[in-house]
Amino acid sequence: MPLHDIDACVFDAYGTLLDFNSAAAQAADVLGDRAAPLSELWRAKQVQYTWLRSLMDAYVPFWQVTGEALDFALDTLGIRTPGLRDRLMGLYRELAPFPDVVDTLTKLRGKGLRTAILTNGSQEMIDAGCRHAGIASLFDAILSVEDVGIYKPHPRVYQLAVDRLGVAAERIAFISSNGWDAAGAAQFGFQVVWCNRYAQRAERLPTPPAVEITTLRELALP
């Protein structure tokens, strides 16, 4: 693995540590075969809205963005089941961790590396998610874009990790399942690992990640 001289590992949360598809999957008793299409559209609009709001200088917390994206997805798919929106939003606060998360974080901390989350999620939202997933104690810091009022991949977001951890960018390994996030972090100056969980094609963006893996179990830092 070409990463070297790493002092801290900083992780994206949604899609990297927490499975955003698990919310709709847990409502499959109501959604049936619409669970996967809903989840896909919900996520796509959620990410799109963060980019658009950043460009528009119209930041609102990620919880609001998540609700607005869900409203769009439900409306587009013609799903109007009473109480379903509230149920799905509640489930988004209780996303399942991927099965490789706990072991990987435990091993990294055993190596003496500092660990952190850097997420678009609002602070209350990500804190609740980490508590539910049982991983909150495995991080030295859980950092939210709320503190800078703009979303990834703006450089101010990545600077948060440098400032809060007191570690130079080039000595931070940044791990994300989102290709666009990996590209933004690499452009900023992190040593980036793209955990390509979803077999996506490489983004056509500047500064590709240093390493591509498919699960966090492949993250073998010295």
Tens digits of per-residue pLDDT, 66-99?
999 999 999 999 999 999 999 999 999 999 999 9
Q: Compute the distance between CA of residue 211 and CA of residue 109 in angstroms, rounded to an integer.
A: 20
Q: Compute the distance between CA of residue 85 and CA of residue 63 in angstroms, rounded to an integer.
A: 13
Name the maximum alpha-carbon separation found in the chain. 53
β-sheet with 141-144: strand ranges across: 141-144, 114-119, 8-11, 172-176, 191-195, 211-213
Q: For the chain, which ranges sit under pLDDT 70?
A: 1-2, 222
- pLDDT (0 to 100) of residue 3: 78
Q: Give the residue among 67, 63, 71 at the shortest CA–CA distance from 119.
A: 63
Q: Which helix (H) or strand (E) holds 114?
A: strand 114-119
Q: Compute the distance between CA of residue 95 and CA of residue 17 in angstroms, rounded to an integer.
A: 9
**75 an active-site residue?**
no
* Domains of the chain as residue ranges with CATH: 8-19+95-218 (3.40.50.1000), 21-92 (1.10.150.240)
- pLDDT (0 to 100) of residue 220: 73
- pLDDT (0 to 100) of residue 27: 98
Q: Which two tokens stand for residue 65?
A: 């963005």
* Catalytic choice (12, 29, 33, 100): 12
3-state helix/strand/coil string of 144-212: EHHHCCCCCCCHHHHHHHHHHHCCCHHHEEEEECCHHHHHHHHHHCCEEEEECCCCCCCCCCCCCCCEE
3-state DSSP call for residue 60? coil
Q: Compute the distance between CA of residue 96 and CA of residue 141 in angstroms, rounded to an integer.
A: 20
- pLDDT (0 to 100) of residue 175: 98
